[in-house]
């Protein structure tokens, strides 16, 4: 491995690890002595500066880390701020709705209703200020219970939870809906069949 490659490899290692990496660790990974490792690090630092990279190498004591250059903080902030406008996923909407209509409920309840794990979605919704912990249930394990927040009300233009739109009653499709509904059912099943039969795509 030539020196250029080693610089690149160090960069990749620092990038992937995300956290600070000690000089000693670099020595171990590349089986070189401290002096050589330091040399490589200096080369990496120089190359980043010379190629006008948006990333720089920071050295603290004997620990190295890649981070973004200060002058671009503004754009990073903007990115993060724009992220707040990313619409919720379908899964997030479902979790939110299940909790909104049944609150306060445990995560386990939501999972039971949806049939899939939703820890990730719940914590994202807490981060987004749409859900919050409302205490614990007096049950073995004392599970947390969740409910909606004021921000939730704001995002859905509701004055209070009493204003939650009513879920239309189910007009029990089993009885007397005649031919049209039957055909719908057939089509639904056709869909299921289509799904279950191999379809080659090119």
Query: Of 32-40, 57-65, 97-105, 149-157, which part binds a second copy (CB under 8 A)?
Result: 97-105
Binding mask 151-190 for another protein (x = CB under 8 A): x--xxxxx----xxxxxx-x-xx---xxx--xx-xxx-xx
Q: Site map for another protein, 6-35, x if CB under 8 A? A: ------x--xxxxx----------------
Site string for another protein, 41-60 (x = CB under 8 A): ---------------x-x--
Which lies closer to another protein via its Cβ, residue 34 or residue 117? Answer: 117
Tell me the sheet residues that pair with 55.
68
> Which of 50, 115, 162, 201 is in the footprint of another protein by CB under 8 A?
115
All residues at 6 or more sequence positions from 133 whose CB lies less than 8 Å from its CB, including other chains: 126, 144, 145, 146
Task: Give CA separation, 9 vs 29, 40, 139, 173, in Å.
Answer: 10, 10, 52, 63
Query: Which residues, other chains included, contact 122 with Cβ-Cβ below 8 Å and sequence gap of 6+?
Result: 95, 107, 110, 131, 146
Residue 142 near another protein by CB under 8 A: yes
The CB density around residue 192, as the number of other CB atoms within 10 Å, is 10
User: Which helix (DSSP H) or strand (DSSP E) does residue 11 occupy?
Assistant: helix 3-17
139-198: which residues touch a second copy (CB under 8 A)? Answer: 139-140, 144, 166-167, 186-188, 190-198
């Amino acid at each position: 491995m030539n020196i250029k490659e080693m610089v690149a490899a160090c960069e990749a290692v620092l990038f992937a690890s995300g956290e600070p990496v000690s000089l000693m660790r670099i020595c171990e990974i590349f089986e070189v002595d401290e002096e050589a490792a330091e040399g490589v690090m200096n080369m990496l630092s120089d190359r980043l500066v010379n190629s006008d990279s948006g990333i720089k190498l920071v050295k603290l004591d004997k620990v190295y880390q890649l981070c973004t250059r200060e002058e671009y903080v503004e754009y990073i902030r903007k990115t993060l701020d724009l992220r707040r406008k990313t619409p919720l996923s379908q899964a997030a909407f479902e979790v939110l709705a299940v909790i909104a209509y049944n609150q306060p409920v445990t995560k386990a309840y939501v999972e039971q209703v949806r049939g899939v794990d939703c820890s990730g979605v719940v914590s994202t919704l807490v981060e987004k200020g749409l859900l919050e912990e409302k205490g614990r249930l007096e049950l073995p394990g004392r599970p947390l219970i969740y409910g909606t927040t004021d921000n939730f009300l704001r995002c859905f233009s509701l004055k209070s939870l009493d204003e939650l739109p009513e879920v239309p009653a189910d007009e029990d499709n089993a009885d007397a809906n005649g031919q049209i509904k039957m055909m719908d059912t057939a089509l639904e099943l056709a869909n299921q069949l289509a799904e279950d039969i191999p379809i080659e795509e090119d």
